[in-house]
Each structure stands twice: as C-alpha cells, then as structure tokens.
Amino acid sequence: MKITLAQLNYHIGNFDGNLSQMKEAIEKAKEDQSDLICFSELSTCGYPPRDFLEFRDFIHQSMNVIQSLCEQSFDIAIVVGAPTVNPEIEGKDLYNSAFFLYGGKVQHIAHKALLPNYDIFDEYRYFEPNKKFKTVEFKGKKIAITICEDIWNLGNNNPMYTIVPMDEMMKENPDFILNLSASPFSATHAKERIEVIRANVLKYKIPMFYCNSFGSQTDVIFDGGSIVMSPDGLTYDEMPFFEKCQRNYDLDQVCEGGKSNELPKEEVSLIYQALVLGIKDYFSKLNLKTALLGLSGGIDSALTCVLATHALGKENIKVLLMPSQYSSEGSVVDARDLAEKLGISYEIIAIEDIFKTYSHVLDPFFSGMPQNITEENIQARIRGMLLMAFSNKFGSILLNTTNKSEMAVGYGTLYGDLCGGLAVLADVYKTQVYELSHYINRNEEIIPQNSISKPPSAELRPGQKDSDSLPDYSILDKILYQYIELEKGPNEIIDQGFDRDIVLRSCRLVNKAEFKRYQSPPVLRVSSKSFGLGRRMPIEGKYLV
C-alpha cells in the first residue's frame, strides 16, 4: 500500500481555499499512484475554529467540502478532518471527526476521544468525546484512525482522561496508525511530540503515519514536522518544519524499519522560523500587505524589524525613528544603519517639540509637581500616536516590539509602546531576544552590534536603563519562566535559591500588569505558556499583590 501525507497550511473558514489545495494534493497523489492520502485535523474548516463552530452554516459549509472530496475519492482513499453533528440528544452538538472517503462516498467516520481542555485548547466547549472505537479496513489492511490528542494518553496515566483509544482499537489488530493532528508549535514541543509517537509504536508494534498541519492562525502557530515512524521506533521520515510538504510512503518499506531520518531541532532556529511564519500568515490571511514599526536603535525593535522584513519583503516595511531629547546619538545611528542595511523605507520625526507642547499645556495643572513616569509615558504615547497616524493614513499594520519580559512585568505604556496589531516578540524573553539576534547575525552583521551590546534602555529620561526599574534580565527571565511557564509559586521559586525580595517583587509585577495585557495585541505563541488564551488570569485578583 502506498500512503501519502499532505502537510498543508489551512485558513479558518476559507472552505474554498482549503478545498482547492486539498484537491491539488489529491491530484498529485493520484499521479504518484498512491492508494491513500491523509490530511490533518479539522482540515476542511481550519484549526482552531473556536466559536465559528456554533454557527450551523459553518458546519454546513464544512460538510460541503466533504461532499466535494467524495467526488475525488473513486481512485484513491481520502482521510480528512472535519466537525460532524452529534446525532444523539444527549451530549455536545458536535464531534471532532476524521472521514474515510473512498469509492465516491463516506466509508467510515472516526471521532476524537480525548479532548484537550488546557492552555490554548478548549475542545470540550464544543465537542463530545468518542466512546466507541472501530478500525477501518482498506485493501486488506486494518487502519486505526486517531486524532491528535488521542495518542497522548499512553498507559492511561493522564488524569484528564479515562480511556486509551489505541488500546481499544488494538483489539481488532490494526496494521498501522493514522493520526490527523493540528499540533501547535512551542520551542520544545517537536521533541516531546516525536517521543510520544515513538512510545506508541514501540508499545503497539505497528507503524504510525502522523500528519500535522503547518501555518499560523493569528496567535497559534503550527510547525508541520509530520512523521512516519516504523515499528522499531526509528523515524522513517520527518517532514520539514514550517512549510508545505507532500510525500509518499510504501507501507511495507516503513514496516521494515531500520532507518532514522529525524531533522535537527535547534530551538533558536525553530523560534525564528515560527515568528517569520506567524507574521507572514497574519498578513496574508487578513489580506494585508504592509507593516509599520518604530525603530529605536534598541535590540527589540531591531529584531522585530528583521523578522518582519524576512516575512513580508523589504518593500512592504516602513519604520519611524522618533528620537527624543533623551535619545543618544548612537541609537539614531544604529536605527538608521539597520534600515539602510535592510533596504527598507524610514522617516525621522523628532518628538522633542511635540513633548514641549504637551508640557506647556499641562504646566498649569502640574505646577510644583516633580517629573515622574507621567512625562515618560507622554513621550511613549506621542510615539504611539505618530505610529498610529501613519498606520491609518497609509493602511499599514503596526507591529508591536515588546518582549515577554517587559510584557510580563508591565514595563510598557498603554496607548504608547504597547500599541499595535500584532505583538511579535511578546512570547520571547529578553534573553531569548539576544539569542535570536546572534542567530540572525551568525553569518554577517545585520543587527548592529551596538544594538546588541549596549545596556537596554527606554531612553525616556536622562541616563535611563532598564536595570533602574527591573532586576537583571538574566535573573528576571529565570524567575518569570518558573512563574509563568512552570506555574511555580513564589516560595517554590525561592527554594531554588533565588533572592526572596526579587522573586516576590517580580511575581507581584506580573500580577499587577494583567490589565495591560488584556488591552495588548495578539501574541505570536512560541512557548508552552504564552500571554493570551493560554493564560487566563483575573485582573483584580489579590494573590501576591
């Protein structure tokens, strides 16, 4: 049997576009004389469709895609993910399903049993979990069809679930496993995923064909990396990350095993690719073209600028340099050098006179009061106003350049530097910003070395440095990682040897800044716990305040 995996980039609700690319893949598979082609989870409608699933018309259009694919299935079997209506009176209205199409009709429907309800996932909001399991027979082979999370409860050791789908289907002695996935990217997930697949094939002694999607859906990025694994636990093949790919496999050869073809998984490279794809898809799927950002001469805006240029092309990027009376000459030079190095359009608009106008207007009300963060925020908001004016006038989307460390502790100004349509680095800690910048400069200097080496500063008052207000990032980021990603309480972090006062202050800053994050742009997710849907915290909570 010849099996094709199609790793495609789906667009939520774009039924015609999703169908078109699946038809193209099917024609190619037929030319290659494949017996079966497999697409990924909810590929008819795109993943995650979220509350679109509550629209009957949305489900109807998804089923129209299934009917159209049936017409393509006379010469080849097609396995495709789609939502289906639950015919029972009790339970949720829908199933998350995989259709097996052949001979012009639906031969079998497999429903997802394990519905993730953690982090960014909320499938139990919409779907009924499957409780009945049956393999499908095709050309003398029995196929166990699973959907994403269904393979992640090996040994029934996950307290969220009470059943192991593959244990149930092994009673019918399947010859191989098909898994349709929409597995979101995080920097460490690719390694975890391949080990879960390996554990399955070693337990059940049959190969697995794992088909993942790639592409970005606003904040959630999918990396592809579809896998074919032999019964001996060796990776027969692993598809590339973050790109369209379609490959054919001979089942008998896969069963023989004896080869390993795993791709290298350097975290900094994967994060770079994920961010570039996230920007690219955000613009293409919203039918947008040009991006705008403020270029300060600092490392965060420099990195964002490079990523956006790589994603959209230099002709689609415009930057504003907005020096204040506190900006160093070196910062302006570094920003201009980067813009010229990348070949992007830039304008210089000094904000000192605008700031003086604001100060003059406010002097009667602020008379006798010392300058403080108010004046700093006014400068940040002047820059935000100028950027939004250019965004509105020229139809460019403003990219936010705030990193995760700053976003975590509230080191940013609402309606100022927190403006934007997309937060590119808000799931990248400051220490990772340095790693990414060195990665970009690995072959030649693109980001000016001075932007990397100088102490980080907002340059909103004389001699200002981030370290005046925050712990050193090398310490802060470790504490934030424990508190945000690993969800460790302050005492648990202190017990690891961190300074008690720094830990308590850092965690309190995170909690107090929640109201800012509620008003910030969507964040490209590259970690296991990003700000947004994956981390739902109350604004007015008293914990640690």
Give the whole-angstrom CA distance, residue 15 versus residue 61.
Answer: 7
Partners of 246 in the beta sheet? 6
With residue 7 as reference, give the H or E element that holds it. strand 2-7
Angstrom CA distances, 126 to 21, 84, 122, 462, 529, stand at 27, 11, 8, 54, 22
- Pick the catalytic residue from 38, 45, 70, 148: 148
Backbone angle region of 233, left / alpha / beta, with phi > 0 → left and psi within -120 to 50 → alpha: left
Max Cα separation, the chain? 88
User: DSSP labels for 121-185?
Assistant: --GGGTBPPP-----EEETTEEEEEEEGGGGS-GGG--TT-S--HHHHHGGG--SEEEEEE--B-
CA angle 21, 27, 28 (to 5 degrees): 90
What is the number of alpha carbons within 13 Å of residue 441 lying toward its C-beta?
19
> Of 38, 41, 238, 318, which one is the catalytic site residue?
41
Amino acid at 202: L
Q: Which of 112, 404, 430, 516 is catalytic?
A: 112
Determine the Cα–Cα distance for residues 473 and 526; give it in Å rounded to an integer.
19
Count CA atoms closer than 13 A to 538's CA, side-chain side: 6
Q: What is the CA radius of gyration of the chain?
A: 26
* CB atoms closer than 10 angstroms to residue 395: 11
Q: Using DSSP bridges, classify how beta strands 291-294 and 77-85 pair: parallel, antiparallel or unpaired.
A: unpaired
Q: Is the dihedral of CA 423, 429, 433, 439 positive or negative?
A: negative
In degrees, rounded to 5, the angle at the alpha carbon of residue 283 between the alpha carbons of residues 281 and 289 is: 140
Rounded to whole angstroms, how far apart are CA atoms 186 and 219? 12
* Residues 226, 212 contacting (CB under 8 angstroms): yes
Concerning whether 112 is annotated as a catalytic residue, the answer is yes
Task: Tally Cβ neighbours within 10 Å of residue 540.
Answer: 7
Q: What is the token pair recorded at 65?
A: 């895609």
The number of C-alpha atoms within 13 Å of 348 and in the hemisphere containing its C-beta is 13
Structure tokens, 342:
């990348």
What single DSSP character describes residue 371? Answer: P
Place of tokens 């909690």: 511
Q: Which residues, 6+ apart, have CB-to-CB distance to 191 below 8 Å?
A: 265
What residue has token string 């800053």?
509
Whether the Cβ atoms of residue 224 and residue 212 lie closer than 8 Å to each other: yes
Is-cis flag, bond preceding 48, omega within 30?
A: yes
**Both structure tokens of 322:** 């907005």
Measured CA to CA, the distance from residue 483 to residue 405 in angstroms comes to: 12
List alpha helices for 189-266, DSSP H: 189-204, 251-256
Active-site residue list: 41, 112, 148
